[in-house]
Copies of this chain bind each other. A is one copy, B any other.
Amino acid sequence: MRLAVLGAGAVGENVAELAGEYGHTVTAFADSSGAVIDSAGIDVAAALSRKAETGSVGEADHEAALSADYDVLVEATPTTLDDAEPGFSHVRTALERDRHVVLANKGPVAERYDEVRELERASRGSLRFEATVAGAIPALATIEDLGPERVSAVRGVLNGTANFVLSRMAAEGLGYEHVLAEAQDLGVAEADPSFDVQGTDAALKCVILANVLSGGGYSLDDADVEGIEDIPGAALELAAEDGRTVRLVGEVDEEGVRVGPRLVPEHGTLAVTGTLNIVQLETEHAGRVNVSGRGAGGPETASAVLSDVGRLPRLE
């Protein structure tokens, strides 16, 4: 397949670098200030060198990437809330051109799911978004295989930063602020960690899962979200005395979407440690299926994007 990759952050960069290994050609690659376009295939290494030197992968207009020759638009620009722009417009342009779209950007399927599905129905292209939920974990593919109508609920630990902080607080008996600063030093937490520690990122993933299970209707406003900022170290100590610990758990069921700190058994399935993520599916006939692994990271998320590309039918 010919790929146009929008976004040259960790995910876009890794998709562009790995595409050849998966048998694909990158025909356009854009960041927020420029693009490189070549219908015969761009030189990815040269584009990345250029970005390291000049700050941009190329000199073409970055909007021009959208009208380049490609089979699949890989949308890996940063997630935005509310109108999910400019990601939403990128999706619309590609689907209106009868091209496929693979999202790493959560915005369009968390905030405007019904609209993107409507655009997909009118298109010969298809939309996939495995990378938007829990990185390397094939959560959506597993739900698709089981049949969304046979998955009654999903529960999961879906934010690696929050989980790292909670695991360290519990293991070392340290306070939130201390562990957060340490996580920032290690590069596990961002300078502004609010998206992760307030639960927004986990909630977006849960909203996407809710849309998949119910066929749409959810956006971030529908989620009941609480973060981990106010958890005192003493709460973790008390939990440990009782053989339990605290995790930021997302829950999706017929009552809606909820994200918040929950007490879980200390050595139970949900108590993954460090930056790991886990998704638990409650199924009608197959019992509980757990999938865990790395929920973030450039190569891991790029791997999910490229698995999605592999699932797409050839465009005629």
Residues of B within 8 A of A286 (CB): 135-136, 293-294, 299-300, 303-304
Contact B136 A287 (CB under 8 A): yes
Knowing A269-B292, A290-B290, A291-B289 touch, does A303 contact B136 (C-beta < 8 A)? no
Contact A285 B310 (CB under 8 A): no
Cβ of A138 within 8 Å of any chain B Cβ, yes or no, is yes
- Kindly identify which residue among B22, B147, B283, B300 contacts A22, using a CB–CB cutoff of 8 Å: B147
Contact A293 B290 (CB under 8 A): yes
Smallest CB gap from A298: residue in B: B285
Q: Is the interface of A mostly helix, strand, loop or mixed?
A: mixed
Q: How far is the CB of A132 from chain B (nearest CB, A)?
A: 15
Q: How far is the CB of A151 from chain B (nearest CB, A)?
A: 11
Smallest CB gap from A297: residue in B: B287
Smallest CB gap from A267: residue in B: B267
Smallest CB gap from A307: residue in B: B145
Residues of B within 8 A of A314 (CB): none
Knowing A138-B145, A311-B145 touch, does A293 contact B287 (C-beta < 8 A)? yes
Q: How far is the CA of A138 from the CA of B289 in the complex (A)?
A: 9
Within 8 A of B (CB), among A258-276: 267, 269
Q: Oligomeric state, in number of copies? A: 2
- Kindly identify which residue among B14, B146, B302 contacts A303, using a CB–CB cutoff of 8 Å: B146
Residues of B within 8 A of A297 (CB): 287
Cβ of A18 within 8 Å of any chain B Cβ, yes or no, is yes
- Kindly identify which residue among B18, B267, B290, B307 contacts A291, using a CB–CB cutoff of 8 Å: B290
Smallest CB gap from A302: residue in B: B285
Cβ of A178 within 8 Å of any chain B Cβ, yes or no, is no
Cβ of A152 within 8 Å of any chain B Cβ, yes or no, is no
Cβ of A228 within 8 Å of any chain B Cβ, yes or no, is no
Cβ of A141 within 8 Å of any chain B Cβ, yes or no, is yes
Within 8 A of B (CB), among A135-189: 135-138, 141-142, 145-147, 150
Residues of B within 8 A of A285 (CB): 14, 18, 136, 299-300, 302-303
* Given A136-B287, A141-B142, 14 extra CB contacts under 8 A: A136-B283, A136-B286, A138-B289, A141-B141, A145-B310, A147-B307, A267-B267, A285-B303, A286-B299, A286-B304, A287-B293, A287-B294, A289-B293, A292-B292
